[in-house]
Amino acid sequence: MTFGIPEGEVLLEVSHPEYEPNRCTASVPSDADAECRLVPASLDGQLRLLAIDRNGDPVPEIAITVRGPSEHRLTSDQNGVARVDALKPGAYTAHLDDPVYLIAVADVEILPRQETTVQLRVLPKPSRPGIIIQKSQIALRRQISFATGSDEILPNSEPILLEVADALLRNPQLELIEIQGHTDNRGTPSVNMRLSQQRAESVQHWLVRHGVERARLTAKGYGATRPIAPNITQQNRANNRRVQFMIVRRVELNAAAAR
């Protein structure tokens, strides 16, 4: 590209959205082509993490690890905020792991030259655990609730599910868990079988969204074929409507640690 300009030294200012701006000098006239090198601008994005409690209030001094194309260890400030100002675009996972709190995990997609904000809910471990890790299963002190005739998990089941997720994330030696769905005997066998399968899969999807690897979970509906009490009272039927977390495969602790 050429322009008619007066003789002498000229200053060139070059800019482009995808490059760092640059300033170069050149002489007019000149026997050589003037050259002004451009350096590609950074595509890095930014991440803003907000640690909040169940009431939406900020939680300071919480350790958070961000893993993906790069790894960063952060601590939330007095406003509950932790930041990374330069992250290569890509998929990351924000991981809150504090012995006082339930583990919280959030998947994050960092886009070029954009700031992404993610909230992490910081929930203290209950004083009385709602689950017990036994030899053959993760036993629940209270059951997971669904909308009537549906696989929709009700909000009051979130605390117990968060405990299940926390237990699985802290115990990688529990390699494979079968999530079992069970119903009472009301309704036709085919409807009960389908509903129990859908509910088991709904729990599986919930746990995966909260950081548990899908490969560690299978979902199986058994309908009304495995009652734990005769379906003759309202309470017995309520007990039969349940989700169970059966341990299918477990590795020894020392073997898991060696990985």
List CB contacts of 49: < 8 A, sequence separation 6 or more. 64, 66, 74, 76, 81, 82, 83, 94, 117, 118, 119, 120
pLDDT category, 259, cuts 50, 70, 90?
very low
Whether domain 45-121 has CATH 2.60.40.1730:
no
pLDDT category, 255, cuts 50, 70, 90?
very low
Domain ranges of the chain: 45-121, 131-257
Can you read off the two tokens belonging to residue 7?
């003789």
Q: Which amino acid is it at 148?
A: T
pLDDT, tens only, 7-26: 778 787 877 777 778 888 87
pLDDT category, 2, cuts 50, 70, 90?
low
pLDDT over 60 at 128, yes or no:
yes
The C-alpha atoms of residue 228 and residue 236 are separated, in whole angstroms, by: 8
Average pLDDT of the chain to the nearest whole number: 90
pLDDT category, 1, cuts 50, 70, 90?
low
CATH topology of domain 131-257: 60s Ribosomal Protein L30; Chain: A; (3.30.1330)
List CB contacts of 140: < 8 A, sequence separation 6 or more. 130, 131, 160, 164, 243, 244, 245
Residue-level pLDDT at 31: 57
Contact call for residues 100 and 125 (beta carbons, < 8 A): yes
pLDDT over 80 at 164, yes or no:
yes
List CB contacts of 40: < 8 A, sequence separation 6 or more. 18, 19, 20
The C-alpha atoms of residue 225 and residue 241 are separated, in whole angstroms, by: 11
Contact call for residues 48 and 118 (beta carbons, < 8 A): yes
| pTM for the model | 0.76
pLDDT over 90 at 139, yes or no:
yes
pLDDT over 80 at 231, yes or no:
yes
pLDDT, tens only, 33-85: 667 777 777 889 999 999 999 899 999 999 999 999 999 999 999 999 999 99
pLDDT, tens only, 190-219: 999 999 999 999 999 999 999 999 999 999
